[in-house]
Chains A and B, each alone.
Chain A
Amino acid sequence: MDIGAWWEWTTDWLSDAQNVLFVVIALVMVFAALRVVTSPNVVHATLMLVLALGGSAALFLMLGAEFVAWALVLVYIGAVVVLFLFGIMITRAPTGRDPVSLDHKRRWPAALVALTTFVTLASVSVAAFEDRVIENTVSRTGDLGDLLFSRFVMPFEAVSFVLLAALIGGIVIARKDPE
């Protein structure tokens, strides 16, 4: 595809308001994700994860998956991030500016692996799906609930059992042994 056709396609793509919204959310998410992996401050990294996950909740709303979006906000931003902050406080991770002890010195091999992964995944998925359009699909939360308790009831029960086991296991692992 030459430059002119590419430019025409891009301006055409950006003329849709949803795509402009997508670009804004994607830029915020990528910035937040980069800060999660590069921030010298542990608490800042955790709070940036909130921003990245909020962006993905916004994308779910754009894709018409309301229940998943709000479940993500409740479970991740409400519970998991608070758990992470507790973990940081309990392990007394260096919360000041101390980049030496937070990162390895060998950054370039890791960056090379990440870049190779990105190029592979992105080129394969773009080559496979080119510009197939997602039709506007708003799904009803009630339908999802019905499906969770009919078609997906066995995985649902299995997942709830895993969650119970993880709860008990977490208590057993983390508590102090009584002398």
Chain B
Amino acid sequence: MTVSQFLVLGALLFSIGIYGVLVRRNAVLVLLSVELMLAAVNINLVAFGAFLQDSLLSGQAFALFVITIAAAEVGIGLAIIVLIFRNRSSANVDELDLMRW
């Protein structure tokens, strides 16, 4: 196993996530694409941790922190989406022009 194969896979998943964030209109699907990008970052962290033979296991510890923050982000994000849906009866990101000048 080389490091590059994991890094290339991570880059591929990250760019697929970027595509999803840019192209999706539904806010829930935008959050799904963000999760994909975070998964790519986790792959990079764990691969570097295994590659560097770190005795502090920083790669795995930081991957756990990223997983935790992602869970918090999904909770808050979905709460905001539910609130927006309740107020505007739509969860499409391009219809949220409330703050447009």
A: which residues have CB within 8 A of B? 13, 16, 18-19, 22, 26, 29-30, 33-34, 36-37, 42, 45-46, 49, 52-53, 56, 59-60, 62-65, 67-68, 71-72, 75-76, 79-80, 83-84, 86-88, 90-94, 101-104, 106-107, 109-111, 113-115, 117-118, 121-122, 125-126, 129-135, 137, 139, 143-144, 147-148, 151-152, 155-156, 159-160, 162-163, 165-167, 169-171, 173-174, 176
Contact B67 A76 (CB under 8 A): yes
Assuming the contacts A30-B16, A59-B43, asked whether A67 and B60 have C-beta atoms less than 8 A apart, the reply is yes
Task: Report the nearest A residue to B51, measured CB to CB.
Answer: A134
Assuming the contacts A166-B75, A173-B79, asked whether A36 and B33 have C-beta atoms less than 8 A apart, the reply is yes
Q: How large is the interface on B (under 10, 10 to 19, 20 to 34, 35 or more residues)?
A: 35 or more
Assuming the contacts A84-B32, A91-B85, A173-B83, asked whether A147 and B56 have C-beta atoms less than 8 A apart, the reply is yes
**Distance between A171 CB and nearest chain B CB, rounded to angstroms:** 8
CA distance A96 to B2 in the complex (A): 42
Closest 3 CB pairs of A and B: A37-B20, A166-B72, A121-B11
Residues 53-82 (chain B) with a chain A CB within 8 angstroms: 53, 56-57, 59-61, 63-65, 67-76, 78-82
Residues of A within 8 A of B91 (CB): 91, 93
CA distance A67 to B40 in the complex (A): 18
Residues of B within 8 A of A52 (CB): 13, 36, 39
Q: List 5 A-B contacts (CB under 8 A).
A: A13-B2, A22-B1, A60-B43, A118-B11, A173-B80
Task: Report the nearest A residue to B67, measured CB to CB.
Answer: A75
Secondary structure dominating the interface of A: helix
Contact B36 A36 (CB under 8 A): yes
Contact A71 B2 (CB under 8 A): no
Residues of B within 8 A of A151 (CB): 56
Residues of A within 8 A of B5 (CB): 19, 22, 26
**Distance between A117 CB and nearest chain B CB, rounded to angstroms:** 4
Contact A42 B29 (CB under 8 A): yes
Assuming the contacts A42-B28, A132-B2, A134-B3, asked whether A122 and B11 have C-beta atoms less than 8 A apart, the reply is yes
